[in-house]
Amino acid sequence: MVCFCAAFTFFYRTIICTRQVTGRVTDTAGSPVANASVVVKGGRNGAQTGTDGTFSIRVPSSASTLVITSVGFARRETPIGNGTVKCRFGTF
């Protein structure tokens, strides 16, 4: 019974209490920003953009903001909204 409760709790927290967020990070010219760090504000979940600037991250249902950083660009906080994020970086 303890094993079942532990398994159910894990399933509930990872599947039901989370959602998938996807997005694309670009610079001011619209070019993709590769290897940018994408983290849930106040959390530990993180992802990295691919060479095309896209990312996919599972976030808690209560999460509302992503923090996006990359070398040479100003830190950016962006709302999650409906689950699709587009972020345009500005330089320092």
Tens of pLDDT along 20-38?
A: 999 999 999 999 999 999 9
Domain assignment present for residue 14? The answer is no
Tell whether 6 is covered by a domain: no
**Cα–Cα distance between 51 and 37 in angstroms, integer?**
13
Query: Do the domain assignments include residue 38?
Result: yes
pTM (two decimals): 0.77
Compute the distance between CA of residue 8 and CA of residue 63 in angstroms, rounded to an integer: 22
Considering the domain boundaries, does residue 48 fall inside one? yes
Nearest Cα to 47, choosing from 62, 58, 63? 58
CATH of the domain at 44: 2.60.40.1120
- The answer to whether position 3 is within a domain reads no
Residue 46 lies in a domain: yes
The parent domain of residue 44 ranges over: 19-88
Count of the separate structural domains present in the chain: 1
| 5-18 burial: b if 16+ Cβ within 10 Å, else e | eeeeeeeeeeeeeb
Q: Is residue 5 part of a domain?
A: no
SS3 of residue 48 by DSSP: strand
pLDDT band at 7; cut points 50, 70, 90 = very low
